Chain A
Amino acid sequence: MTEVSHDRSACRRARGTPAPGEDWIAELTSDGRVREDALRRLHALLVRGARFQVSRMSALRAMVGAAQVEDIVTLAADEAMVAVLSKLATFEGRSRFTTWAYKFAVLQAAVELRRAAWSRREVPLDAAPPLTEPRPSPDQYAEGAELAAAAREAIDRVLTPHQRRIALALIVDEVPIDVLADRLGTNRNALYKTLHDARSRLRTHLAGLGYATPPTRSRGEAR
C-alpha cells in the first residue's frame, strides 16, 4: 500500500466514513460463515461480470455455441475468483471493491471467448501481401486518397517486417490480440508495444511528408 493510500485511509477514519470495499475486505478475510457468505456473493458477482462481458461479444459468442459460452462464463468466474482472492492485499480502495473485482471476471471472460472463437481459425501471418487500393472508394477521395497511398507505401517500406506483420494481423485482419499472442508465444503487452511503435513510425513518416494524421477519437465523435 502506498503512502497516499495510507493518508486516504486515515482521512476516511477521521471522517467516520468507510473506505470503498472495506466491508468486502473485512468479510473476505474473516472466518466461518461471514467469510463463506462473502465468498458466495463474490463468486455470484464475478459470474455476473463474466456473463455480461460475453453477452456483449455477440459475433464471437455465435461462433462457439451456447454450451461452450456457459462453460466460458463459469471458467472465467472461477479463475477471476482465484485472482481476486490472491490480490486482495493490493486493493487500495481507489475504486469500489465491486468495480475492482469485476475487472478480473471481465478480462478472463473476454480472453477465454476470443481464444475459443478462434481456436479453429487460421491466423494469417506468414504471407501477408502488400496493401493495395487500385480503385479508391468515393469516401477515400473525399478524405484523402493521397494519404491512403502514402500510408500504404509507408506500411511496406517504413515498418520493420515484425511491426508490419503484427500491425496487419491486429488491424487489417482483426485477429484478437490475445489470440495472436498465443499463436506467437508472446503476450498482450509485447504485441501492443509493437503496434504502438509501428503507429509512431507511420505517423512520423507521414507527418514528414506533410500529411495530417488522425487524432484520437471518442465515442462522442463516432459516426
Chain B
Amino acid sequence: MNDAQRPLPTEVLRRLTTDPGPWLSCDDCFRLVDRYVEGLLGDGGEPPHAELAAMPAHLAGCSACSEEATTLLLLAAEDAGIDPATALRRLPLA
C-alpha cells in the first residue's frame, strides 16, 4: 500500500485523538465492568462509585472492552427485565 492509498478519514482522526482520560488498564476495566453496566441500568443511570470514574474514558478508547461491555449490558438488562435503550445511550462509544 502506498501513501496515497492510506487516507486519514475524519472518524479515524477522531479515534486517534479521542480524550484518553485517566489511566485505567483493560484488566481493571474487566474487574469493574459488571458493576459499571449495572450502574447504567439502575434508576439513576449514573455509576455511583468514584472507583468507576475512569470507566467512560476507557470504554470510549478501547474498542474491545467497549464491545464486551455492550454485550454484558444487554445480557444484564435481559436478565433483569430492563429495556437497555437508555443505558446503551449512556455507554461510551469507542
* A residues adjacent to B (C-beta < 8 A): 48-49, 52-53, 56-57, 94-96, 98-100, 102-103, 106-107, 110, 114, 124, 129-134, 137, 139-140, 143, 147-148, 151-152, 155, 167, 171-172, 176-178, 188-189, 192-193, 195-200, 202-203, 206, 213-222
Contact = CB atoms under 8 A, between A and B. Distances in A.
A56 B67 contact: yes
B1 interface: yes
Contacts of A192: 25-26, 61-62
B30 A103 contact: yes
Given A49-B75, A171-B12, A100 B61 contact: no
Interface of B: 1-4, 6-10, 12-21, 23, 25-27, 30, 33-35, 37-38, 56-57, 60-64, 67-68, 70-72, 74-76, 79-80, 88-93
B20 A196 contact: yes
Given A53-B68, A195-B61, A220-B89, A102 B75 contact: yes
Q: Is the interface of A mostly helix, strand, loop or mixed?
A: helix
Given A192-B25, A195-B20, 5 more contacts: A137-B10, A172-B8, A177-B63, A196-B20, A217-B18
Contacts of A56: 67, 70-71
A199 B92 contact: no
Contacts of B30: 103, 107
A145 B18 CA distance: 17
B19 to A, nearest CB: 5
B64 A219 contact: no
Contacts, number: 172
Q: 4 tightest A-B contacts by CB?
A: A220-B89, A95-B34, A199-B20, A216-B60
Contacts of B75: 48-49, 52, 99, 102, 106
B63 to A, nearest CB: 8
Given A56-B71, A216-B18, A189 B92 contact: no
B26 A218 contact: no
B3 A98 contact: no
B71 A106 contact: yes
A162 B14 CA distance: 20
A214 B88 CA distance: 21
A204 B94 CA distance: 20
